[in-house]
Amino acid sequence: MNRTSRLSNVLFTFLGAAAVGLVIGVLAIAGVFDAGERVVVREAPQSSSTPVSQPRAAANSVSDIYAKTAPGVAFVEAQGTGGNGGTGSGFLFDGQGHVVTNEHVVEAGNRYTVRFGENGDPLPATLVGEDKSSDLAVLEVDPKKVSGETKPLELASSGDLRPGDAAIAIGSPFGLSGTVTTGIISALNRDITSPNGFPISGVLQTDAAINPGNSGGPLLDAQGRVIGVNSQIASGSAQQNSGVGFAIPVDTVKDVVPQLLDGGTIKRAYLGVSTGPAQSGDGAVVMSITQGGPAAGTDLRAGDRILDVAGRAIKDPSDLSSAVLEHKPGERVKLTVERNGDQRTIDVLLGTRPDQSVQG
């Protein structure tokens, strides 16, 4: 199976260099397309006929944020063999020339170039590391070739966000580098599917316009700090923005990127079950148990409702994913489950998450 075909799964066909997937309508990676689109925003004229002096723009106006951060936002091109490849976005992470983008963007090729700003020169880049489970990757360019006005973007904390907070996206939708769109944080703690089929939890939902080509670009707050990495959109068959976009939270970036820079392989705990929401009340209902997985050798059964993992209450399947990831492979945890109205405790030795999700 080649690299491109591995991106497909039952919920998504990743668009990092090609295409569309389905979730609540259609979920598509905000990845790669070349097309023409431009949005021009103008201030409405003053309604009064009396001349009025214009106030200075607020310190944190969108135009100020754009001027400050856009030089650090990158247009990323991935070139593969046989003419395959695609484009996406990214941003400068530090002063050593490291650029954060989406894994599904780099997956499209084996040679890369990065261009900062609208008028920067394409710089050759090397792939430092990639993590399919979080859809994050790091490229590296020669820092000596990066313009002095190109500064690393400041990182905020996604844990401090609330629905309704401002959200600003900068990237290269349809190859149009330097495009800025605005909106709000529409919701927190969404789940989306990663390139290897596992859920990504804690995802930010925004109505800031995100389209194919925005993948890997930053989602910013009202201070111009990175709060997420734009990754997927909910779309109809037109494969374009419908007001529902998703960004990997910056707290995940803070966890994953340093490990990639250290050259380490990221190992995550693995339970080996697929779950769905309970029809009533809290918990995650076991839909299937992966053959040969950690849970397969226990008393856990399909239909069990998992209520607690190692003392952490489970409200829904997203909680279960997060709870398992709080532990390390090889740790033993106790699950509290409900079966036929009775509660019982099941002991599980967590394994290591495989490279690709396996169902059943």
Instruction: For residue 131, give every residue at least 6 positions away whose Cβ sits within 8 Å of its Cβ, in sequence order, or none.
Output: 103, 137, 256, 259, 260, 266
Q: Is 215 a catalytic residue?
A: yes
Separation of alpha carbons 227 and 50, rounded Å: 42
Of the residues 133, 134, 135, 251, only one is catalytic, namely 135
Distances (CA, A) of 96 to 127, 130, 227, 252, 270: 14, 18, 21, 20, 34
Which of 133, 201, 215, 318 is flagged as catalytic?
Answer: 215
Element (H, E) at 325: helix 317-325
State which H helix or E strand residue 321 sits in. helix 317-325
Q: Residues with Cβ < 8 Å from 83, sequence gap 6 or more?
A: none
What phi and psi, each to the nearest 5 degrees, are found at residue 83?
80, 0
Q: Is 104 a catalytic residue?
A: yes
CB neighbours of 271 closer than 8 A, spacing ≥ 6? 293, 294, 295, 320, 324, 348, 350, 351
The active-site residue out of 104, 133, 251, 321 is 104
| Residue 12 and residue 200 in contact, taking contact as beta carbons nearer than 8 Å | no
Residues involved in catalysis: 104, 135, 215
